[in-house]
């Protein structure tokens, strides 16, 4: 459950605040949106602009790509906090 995962993450952060600060600094050193995510978002916006959401297959594929990237970001965050 999301609430349980959030509570576990908070417990881990509070147990070792120095490690949290180290991870936070490491993440801040990287771009907020990586190049792959930015490209996918750009492609998605272009498709919407060109097809005005009328090409359902491309629209669904773009949404699926965004969902995959969001899930990868969640996984990366969980890995960073040792939650998986």
Distance of CA 9 to the CA centre of its chain: 16
pLDDT at 75: 83
pLDDT at 71: 82
Q: Give per-residue pLDDT as tens, 3-49.
A: 787 788 778 777 887 877 787 777 777 666 777 877 887 787 777 66
As given in the structure block, the two tokens for residue 63 are 């949404």
> E strand or H helix at 67, and its extent?
helix 56-80
Q: Give per-residue pLDDT as tens, 49-72.
A: 666 655 667 777 777 888 888 888
Average pLDDT over residues 76-84: 80
pLDDT at 14: 77
């Amino acid at each position: 459950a999301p609430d349980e995962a959030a509570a576990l993450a908070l417990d881990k952060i509070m147990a070792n605040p120095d490690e949290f600060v180290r991870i936070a600094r490491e993440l801040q050193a990287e771009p907020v949106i990586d190049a792959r995510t930015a490209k996918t978002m750009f492609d998605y916006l272009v498709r919407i602009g060109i097809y005005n959401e009328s090409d359902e297959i491309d629209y669904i594929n773009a949404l699926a790509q965004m969902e995959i990237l969001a899930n990868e970001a969640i996984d990366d965050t969980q890995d960073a906090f040792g939650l998986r």
